[in-house]
Amino acid sequence: MELKFKSILELIQTFPDEETCLEFLKQSRWSEGEYCPHCGHTKIYAFSDGKNYKCASCRKRFSVKVGTVFEDTKIPLQKWFMAVYLLTAHKKGISSLQLSRDIDVTQKTAWFMLHRLRHASNTKAFNEPLRNTVEVDETYIGGKEKNKHRDKRTKGTQGRNTDTKTAVMGMVERGGNVMAMTVSNVQNNMVQRTVLDNVLIGSNLMTDEFSPYKKLRSYYNHQAVRHSAGQYVSGIAHTNTIEGFWSLFKRGVVGIYHFVSKKHLDRYLTEYTYRYNTRNLSESARFRNLMENCNGRLTYNQLTARAA
Ligand SMILES: [Zn+2]
């Protein structure tokens, strides 16, 4: 099925009812052949209702939604599809309050839907190591200064205090993908392990002068800009790409989500990295991409469990 919509109106025209949505979900999910979500067996029988299936091996009944982020939902798929569209099409995402108004569900439902979709956007395709020229930087979210943009000149002082703020590390391949994740601290071991886990050894590494990065010289062609000396670009050495990503993320967190708890910060980072990494796709291609990644459910209990 070819998708060409460029607006929410065209999305609704493409998916006018539950049946067309189910058909599309089936195609997205079973693009490489049907299988049982319980045991993986590839011989399944369709019931005549067009909604339910039975596995020839384990004999269990299931719908196409079982094992996806849409499992156990009473929300019509058309509303889910609108949520996927709104989340992927808006550069800074959408708040649960706004989504609840746009698709007429409660805010609690909208909140849960958005977290499930963020969970789906954590695709394996973006977990490949970064290479070539990679900018690495850390930033700090939350705390008293959460409404301020980071002032690089405070580095090494209160700016890196992780008592009240959450440290986030980001890495971006120039012209390629970004990765970002929370870290429990920004000490040598943590910083180095995070970079080594995600950036191919031998790549060009661009950072500022924060000392844990200097320890990576034996693995990478490392260049640092000296922000403390007022230097922001030196030849190809700069961290402007990753800083642009931080600034978009922070404007979104403050402007759209207002407050992000530490517990959910990684999911918001996933949402932002997903949009960044699919920036060259059309809106309908990005919609399809997220739909193809809808496997893996996230229960309400998992979502609301206290952070360890
Ligand atoms: Zn089975």
Per residue in 130-172, pLDDT tens? 999 999 999 988 765 444 445 443 444 445 666 678 899 999 9
Give per-residue pLDDT as tens, 117-130: 988 887 666 668 99
- From the CA of 94, how far away is ligand 1's center (Å)? 37
What pLDDT does residue 71 have? 87
Position 146 scores a pLDDT of: 42
Q: How far is the CA of 39 from the centre of ligand 1 (A)?
A: 4
Residue of 305 and 269 predicted with greater confidence = 269
Taken as a whole, the chain contains a residue count of 308
Q: Where are the domains of the chain?
A: 1-30+70-121+275-308, 34-66, 128-260
Output the CA 124–ligand 1 centroid distance in Å.
25
CA distance 34 to 55: 10
pLDDT of residue 308: 35
Ligand 1 centre distance from Cα of residue 212 (Å): 50
- Measure 40 CA to ligand 1 centroid, in angstroms: 6
CATH number of 128-260: 3.30.420
pLDDT at site 257: 65
Distance, CA 35 to ligand 1 centroid (Å)? Answer: 8
Q: In this structure, how many other beta carbons lie within 10 angstroms of the beta carbon of residue 52?
A: 14
Residue 124, pLDDT score: 61
Give distance in angstroms: CA of 46 to centre of ligand 1: 13
What residues sit around ligand 1, an ion, with C-beta below 5 angstroms? Answer: 36, 38-39, 41, 55, 57-58
How remote is the CA of residue 41 from the centroid of ligand 1, in Å?
A: 5
Q: Is the pLDDT of residue 251 over 80?
A: yes
**What does DSSP say about strands 221-225 and 204-208: parallel, antiparallel, or unpaired?**
parallel
pLDDT at residue 28 in the model = 86
Give φ, ψ of 3 to 5 degrees. -110, 135
Residue 206 backbone dihedrals phi, psi, to 5 degrees: -110, 125
> Checking DSSP bridges between strand 133-141 and strand 166-173, what pairing results, if any?
antiparallel
Distance 17 CA to ligand 1 centre (A): 29
CA of 56 to the centre of ligand 1 (A): 7
pLDDT for 236: 79
Tell how far the Cα of 66 is from the centroid of ligand 1, in angstroms. Answer: 12
Q: How many CB atoms lie within 10 A of CB 279?
A: 11
CA 296 to ligand 1 center in whole angstroms = 17
In tens, the pLDDT along 270-306 reads 889 999 998 998 889 889 888 888 776 556 566 566 4
Whole-number Å distance, alpha carbon 295 to ligand 1 midpoint, is 16
pLDDT exceeds cutoff 80 at 232: no
Mean pLDDT value of segment 216-243: 86
- Amino acid 153: pLDDT: 38
> Residue 172: what pLDDT?
97
- The arrangement of strands across the sheet holding 61-63 comes to 44-46, 52-55, 61-63
Q: Which of 44-53, 175-184, 207-216, 225-234 has the lowest mean pLDDT?
A: 225-234
pTM over 0.75: yes
pLDDT value at position 154? 41
Residues 66 and 115: their CA atoms lie apart, in Å, by 18
pLDDT tier at 90, thresholds 50, 70, 90: confident
